[in-house]
Protein backbone atom coordinates (compact mmCIF):
# COMPACT_ATOMS: atom_id res chain seq x y z
CA UNK A 1 0.00 0.00 0.00
CA UNK A 2 2.81 2.38 0.86
CA UNK A 3 4.53 1.68 -2.46
CA UNK A 4 1.34 2.54 -4.32
CA UNK A 5 1.00 5.86 -2.50
CA UNK A 6 4.61 6.72 -3.22
CA UNK A 7 4.21 5.83 -6.90
CA UNK A 8 1.04 7.94 -7.20
CA UNK A 9 2.57 10.92 -5.47
CA UNK A 10 5.65 10.86 -7.71
CA UNK A 11 3.82 10.60 -11.01
CA UNK A 12 4.27 13.95 -12.76
CA UNK A 13 1.23 15.59 -14.31
CA UNK A 14 0.86 15.60 -18.05
CA UNK A 15 2.93 18.44 -19.49
CA UNK A 16 0.33 18.97 -22.17
CA UNK A 17 -2.57 21.19 -21.15
CA UNK A 18 -4.75 19.98 -23.98
CA UNK A 19 -7.75 17.72 -24.28
CA UNK A 20 -7.70 14.22 -25.64
CA UNK A 21 -8.34 13.98 -29.35
CA UNK A 22 -12.01 13.96 -30.19
CA UNK A 23 -13.12 16.05 -27.19
CA UNK A 24 -14.09 19.68 -27.26
CA UNK A 25 -14.38 22.17 -24.39
CA UNK A 26 -18.20 22.01 -24.56
CA UNK A 27 -18.22 18.27 -23.93
CA UNK A 28 -16.41 18.43 -20.60
CA UNK A 29 -17.88 21.52 -18.93
CA UNK A 30 -21.19 21.49 -17.08
CA UNK A 31 -22.52 24.45 -19.03
CA UNK A 32 -25.51 26.59 -18.24
CA UNK A 33 -27.75 23.71 -17.20
CA UNK A 34 -25.15 22.45 -14.78
CA UNK A 35 -24.80 25.87 -13.20
CA UNK A 36 -28.57 26.32 -12.90
CA UNK A 37 -29.04 22.89 -11.36
CA UNK A 38 -26.24 23.49 -8.86
CA UNK A 39 -27.68 26.89 -7.94
CA UNK A 40 -31.13 25.31 -7.47
CA UNK A 41 -29.71 22.63 -5.16
CA UNK A 42 -27.85 25.27 -3.11
CA UNK A 43 -30.97 27.45 -2.72
CA UNK A 44 -33.10 24.43 -1.84
CA UNK A 45 -30.58 23.31 0.77
CA UNK A 46 -30.48 26.77 2.35
CA UNK A 47 -34.29 26.88 2.52
CA UNK A 48 -34.41 23.43 4.12
CA UNK A 49 -31.83 24.43 6.73
CA UNK A 50 -33.73 27.62 7.58
CA UNK A 51 -36.96 25.65 7.93
CA UNK A 52 -35.29 23.05 10.14
CA UNK A 53 -33.83 25.73 12.42
CA UNK A 54 -37.24 27.39 12.69
CA UNK A 55 -38.90 24.11 13.66
CA UNK A 56 -36.22 23.25 16.22
CA UNK A 57 -36.52 26.71 17.76
CA UNK A 58 -40.30 26.31 18.00
CA UNK A 59 -39.93 22.93 19.75
CA UNK A 60 -37.39 24.39 22.19
CA UNK A 61 -39.64 27.34 23.03
CA UNK A 62 -42.62 25.07 23.60
CA UNK A 63 -40.53 22.96 25.98
CA UNK A 64 -39.47 26.08 27.88
CA UNK A 65 -43.08 27.25 28.22
CA UNK A 66 -44.12 23.81 29.41
CA UNK A 67 -41.35 23.79 32.02
CA UNK A 68 -42.42 27.23 33.23
CA UNK A 69 -46.02 26.05 33.57
CA UNK A 70 -44.91 22.99 35.51
CA UNK A 71 -42.81 25.18 37.79
CA UNK A 72 -45.86 27.38 38.47
CA UNK A 73 -48.08 24.37 39.19
CA UNK A 74 -45.73 22.72 41.69
CA UNK A 75 -46.08 25.38 44.45
CA UNK A 76 -49.86 25.43 44.00
CA UNK A 77 -50.06 21.65 44.28
CA UNK A 78 -47.75 21.67 47.31
CA UNK A 79 -50.10 24.11 49.10
CA UNK A 80 -53.17 22.02 48.30
CA UNK A 81 -51.65 18.68 49.33
CA UNK A 82 -51.62 19.26 53.13
CA UNK A 83 -55.21 20.49 53.00
CA UNK A 84 -56.34 17.25 51.42
CA UNK A 85 -54.49 15.16 53.99
CA UNK A 86 -56.19 16.73 57.02
CA UNK A 87 -58.86 14.57 58.61
CA UNK A 88 -62.40 15.90 58.55
CA UNK A 89 -64.00 16.70 61.86
Domain ranges in the chain are: 33-77
Predicted confidence pLDDT, tens digits, the chain (89 residues): 888 888 777 766 666 667 778 888 777 888 899 999 999 999 999 999 999 999 999 999 999 999 999 988 887 777 776 655 555 55
pTM value is 0.53
Q: Tell me what pLDDT residue 41 has.
A: 98
Beta strands in the chain (DSSP E): none
Structure-derived torsion over alpha carbons of residues 79, 80, 82, 83, reported in degrees to the nearest 10: 130
Amino acid sequence: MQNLLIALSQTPPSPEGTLRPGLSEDQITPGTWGFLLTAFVVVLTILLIVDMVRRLRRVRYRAQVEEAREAEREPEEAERAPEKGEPEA
